[in-house]
Chains A and B, each alone.
Chain A
C-alpha cells in the first residue's frame, strides 16, 4: 500500500480529493502510528484519493500556543499555511482533534482557509455514501465504552458521528457517567501531556480519574477519537492493572479490526 505525498501528486496529472493531516502523535508515537495506518487503510479501501504531506508537515502549533508560546505557534502555523497554500489544499482530514481544531478554527485568521474534517466525521460520511461497510461480528458480546475528547466534543460540538460509527460495530456501546458536553478530560490537552501534573492534595491523576469512571461501565474496549486521549488512557488502564482486560482503541482501529484489514 503506497502512501503518496502531495509532492508526488504534483508530478502527476491528477489531484487528490483530500489531504490526510497526520500530526506529531500519529507520525512519531509508536502507538499512535497504528491509528494513522488504520485511517490509511480505511481511505484506501473506501477508494478515496488522498495524499499526505510526509516530511513537509510540521506540528500545527497547538501545544505551543496553549502552553503560551505564541512565537513558536506562529512559526509552525505560518510555515504550514505556506505549504498548504502552495499545494492549493482545499480539504483536510485528520485523526487528531487538536490538529483538527487548530487547522479549522485558528488557521483562517492567519490566512489558511480549508475545509477541515475529523476522521470520525469522514468515516461516517463514507459509510452513509456506501463507500465503506463495516463487517459485523467482530465485536459481538463486547462492551465498548466511548470517551469524548474535549477538542472534538465540547470544543467543536461533534458528539454523534463517533457514536454512529460505534453503533455499527455490533458491540454494546456504553456511555461514561460524564459524557458529551459533560465529558471529562483525559489530562493531555493544553500541552499537559508534555509535562508532569502539578501536585495533588488527593494524589489523583486526571487520566486515572477518567479511566476509573470508564471502567465502571465494565468495558472490554475503551474507544476514543484522539491519539493523546489514547496515550493517556493506555497509561491509566495500565496504572490500574487492567491492561490485560481492557484495550484502548481509536475508532478507526476498530473498523480495521472488524473488517480484518
Chain B
C-alpha cells in the first residue's frame, strides 16, 4: 500500500515535470517561422514508415545499424512491459498482464529479454567505440564536454536499466515457485531463468523479494529519469525523429527556397511586374533578408536541430569537414539548438512572446563566417542524415543574411557578382559568349 502511494506520487510528479519540460521544447521549436508543408501526405507517411520506423537510412552503415537496431527494437518492445509496470504500480497488482495474456505474455517477456541482451551487448560496444576506439566522427571538436558526457550518460543508464530488468525477472521467476499466489506464473523465462539459477539460487524468499522490488523500482525510476532527461539531451531523437521525418522537405533537393520579395523587386526593376499591383510602401529601413537568428529560420530547421542525435554522419561525409575546414554540419545543427535553448530559456518567463526580444546576440555568436562560406552545397550531409535533417538550408539562409543584409562575405566573390551584374557571365571576359563556336565554323569552312 505504501509502495502504491509512493508510486502514484512519483508518477504524478514525473508527469507534471515532463509535461512542463516537453511543452517548453515544443514552444522552443515553435519560435521558428512557419513554412509551407504542402505536398502529398502519402509521401510523408511513407517516409515515416521507412525512414523513421524502419530506420532505412541507418543501413547505409551496417554495423552501427544492427547495433542501434537492437537498442531500438528492445526499446519499442519494452514499452509493453512499461505499461504493465505502471498498471501494477498504480493498482498495487503484480504482473497484471501475465494472467490475461497467458502464453503470449511468456513470448513477449522472453522477446524483451533477448532484445535486452542484444541491447546490452550493443551498448557495451557503443561505449567502446566512443571511448576506446574513438571512431573519428564521435570525437570531433564539437563533441568535447557535454555532448560526450550526454552520450555516455545514456549508455550507462541503459546498462543500469537492463541490469534492473534481469534482476527483477530473475528474482520474480524464483518467487513464482515459492509464493505462487503473489507471483503469477509468467511461464518459463529463458534468460532470466539462467540469471536466477546462477546468481540467486539458494537465496531466501525475503531476499528475493527485496531483489525483485529493487529491480522493479530501479527499472521504473531509470525510465522516469530518462523521460525527464530526454529534453536536455541529444536523445530527444527517439521521439522527434518521427515528426522530423514527416515534415522533411519533399521538393527536389536541388531547389533553394525562393525569396518572393526579392523576385518581385527585381521584376518591377526590369519592368516585368504586374502593372496592377499596388506599389509597396516605401520604408526608410531596408528589410532584413536571410536568417540572422532562430526567429528567421523555419520551425522545421529548429525541429531538425532538436532531433539531431549528434551521430556525425553528416560531418563525416562533408567535403569541408573532411579536409580540415572549420565547417561541420553537425556543429551547425548543435549551434542552432543551443541558441534556441538559450533564447527559449529567456523567453519562458514572458510566455514565449518574442516581440522586441533582443539579448544582443544572434546565431552569428555561435557560427562563424568561415564555417558558412566553406560549404560546397554538395548535399552529402542531407543524404547522410538517418532522420532527414537538412543542415544545408540554414547554412544557405545564414549566407543570405551575410551577403544581402550585411554585404559581407568573401571578397573573392565580389568580382563574380560584379561580372554577373554587368555582363551576365561569372567571369569578366574580353571575348563574347558565343565565341566558342568560331573554331567549329572554321573547321568545315
* A interface with B by C-beta (< 8 Å): 1-3, 5, 22, 24-29, 33, 36-37, 40-41, 52, 54-55, 57-59, 61, 63-72, 74-76, 78-79, 82, 101-102, 104-106, 109-110, 150-151, 154-156, 181-185, 187-192, 194-206, 208-210
Contact = CB atoms under 8 A, between A and B. Distances in A.
Shortest 4 CB-CB contacts between residues of A and residues of B: A58-B424, A202-B324, A190-B377, A195-B412
B317 A68 contact: no
Given A28-B427, A55-B434, A190-B378, A105 B409 contact: no
Given A40-B440, A206-B323, A72 B421 contact: yes
Contacts of B255: 105-106, 109
A37 B413 contact: no
Contacts of A210: 319
Most buried by A among B263, B270, B400, B443: B263
Contacts, number: 225
B327 A68 contact: no
A181 B266 CA distance: 36
A198 B323 CA distance: 10
Given A58-B425, A67-B416, 16 more contacts: A1-B441, A1-B443, A3-B437, A22-B436, A37-B440, A54-B434, A57-B424, A63-B426, A70-B289, A156-B252, A156-B254, A188-B376, A190-B375, A194-B416, A198-B370, A199-B370
B424 A66 contact: no
A33 B417 CA distance: 22
B420 interface: yes
B280 interface: no
B254 A24 contact: no
A27 B324 contact: no
A22 B263 CA distance: 24
A69 B403 contact: yes
A79 B254 contact: no
Nearest to B253: A155
Given A59-B425, A105-B254, A185-B380, A64 B434 contact: no
B376 A68 contact: no
Contact of A71 (B252, B404, B416, B436): B404
B444 interface: yes
B434 A27 contact: yes
B180 interface: no
A52 B434 contact: yes
